[in-house]
Structure 1
C-alpha cells in the first residue's frame, strides 16, 4: 500500500497593507501641510542677516546703509509727501500697462489656441516678439509714441502680454483631445465648449502667465521711469543715484519688492480659490 504525502507550497504570503498604513506612506511622499506665512520666512531671514551684518560693522554704511537708516529715510520721504506721490504714479503706470497686456494676452491666446488660422496669423508674430528684447524697443517706441507716458504704458503692456499669451496658449494646446470628442458627442455648442472645457483647461496655465506678467510689469517700470520722468519710484531712485543717496535707492527697491510680493501673493490666493477643484502638491 503506497502512501502519498501532499506537501504545502512554501510560498510566503504577504499580509495586505491596511488602509491607514497606505495613507501614512502616501503622506510621507507629499511636501506636508502648508506653513502659515511661509513666503515671509525667506525675506525675514535676509532682513535679519542684513541687520546683524550692519550692527557688526561688516557693511559699509555708504554703500549698504543699515535697515534702521533705510526705515528712517522711508518715513521721512513719506512724511514730506514725496514717496506717496511717486508710489501713486508708479501704480497708475503699472496698472494701465498691466490691464492692456492682460487683455491682449488672453484674447490673442484664445484666438490662436482655438483656431488653426488664428494660430498661423498670431503665434509666429508673438514668438518673434518674444525673441526681441522688449527694453530694446524703447528707442523705436519713443520715435513712434513720443517720450511721454504713452510709450511707457505700451512697453509695460508688451512685457505683460507675452508670458500671459505663451502660458495660456500652451495650456489650451495641452487640453486632452478626448474632452473635445466628449463635447462633440454631447452636442455642446461653441460657447458651452469654451465655458465648460476650454476655460477650466486653460486656467492653470493662465495663472502661471499672470504671475509672470505681474512681476514683469514691475521689472519694466523701474527702467522706464528713469527715462524722461518727473515722478515715480524709478525717477526717485535715479535722482538718488545722482546724489549718491544709497538709502533712498534701497527704499525704492524695497517698495518694488513689497509690491511684487504682495501682487504675486494676491494672484496665488485667487488661483487657489478658483482652482480649488484641483488636488495638487501645493494644496
Structure 2
C-alpha cells in the first residue's frame, strides 16, 4: 500500500488528514463477495476531502461534462478536463482509490492510443487506475493496458459515451439477445484483466447474473443491490439537481439549502445587515479619518 500526504499549511483547502493507508487495486479486486464497496464521483479537492473517509473508491467521472460544465453529454469531455479534475481529487484524498474516466475518443482507436492516453492520465494526476467503457470490442485494449501496468476498471451495460449509438439512456437487457450480449461483454472484460466493472442501467437479473459469473467485483449503478459495490454521481445523490435518473436515491436536498442560504445572504446585503463588526476590520485606536491615529 502507499500513503499520501498533503501540505497542510498552504490554505483552507488542505486540512490535516487522519493517518490512513490508501486502498490499492489488489485490495479492491479481493473485495469480491465481501462487504459491498462504496464508490462516488468527485470532481474537486474539497468534495474529495469530504467523501474520502467514507468511500473505498472515488471516480473522477466524465459526467463532469454535464455536472460541472453544462455540456449536453459526456462526449465533448477532453483529456485536459479529466487530468485537471483528477489531479485535484488525488490531492484531496488519502484513503480511497482514485479512478479516472477515459473520455470519448481517447482510447477507442487502438490499444496503443489507449496506452498513451492512460499513461498521461496517471502521470499527470497520480491516480491509481483508469475506467473505460465497452464490452467485447474493448477486451483487447483492457488486456493491453493491464499487461503494461495500467489498472483498468471496465464499464458495461448503459455506456453514456455510446448514447448516440444506443439511441438514448434507457435500461439495457430487455431482449434475450441483448441480455446474452451483456453477459459476454462482462465476461470478456473480466477475463481481459479488469480489476472491477461498473454495471450501469441493466435489468436487475442480468446484473445479478453478471456478478455471479465474473471474478472481479461489479459496481452497480441502476443495477442491483446484489452487486459487489455501488456508485452514484455525487451531485445527484446530494439533491443538487431536480431531474435525476430513476435509479438515484437523493440522500439530501442541498439545492434547497443552498438556495435558502443565498437568499438570506442577498437580503442581508441589501438591508446592510451584512457585514457587521464581526466581519470587518477595525482600527486598534481612534482615527482622525486620514488613516493616522490621534
Q: What is the TM-score of this pair, normalised by structure 1?
A: 0.24
For CA contacts below 8 A with separation 6 or more, give which structure has more relative contact order.
1
Structure with more strand by fraction: 2
Which has a greater percent of helix?
1
Superposition TM-score, scaled by structure 2 size? 0.24
Look at both structures and tell me which one has the larger radius of gyration over its CA atoms.
1
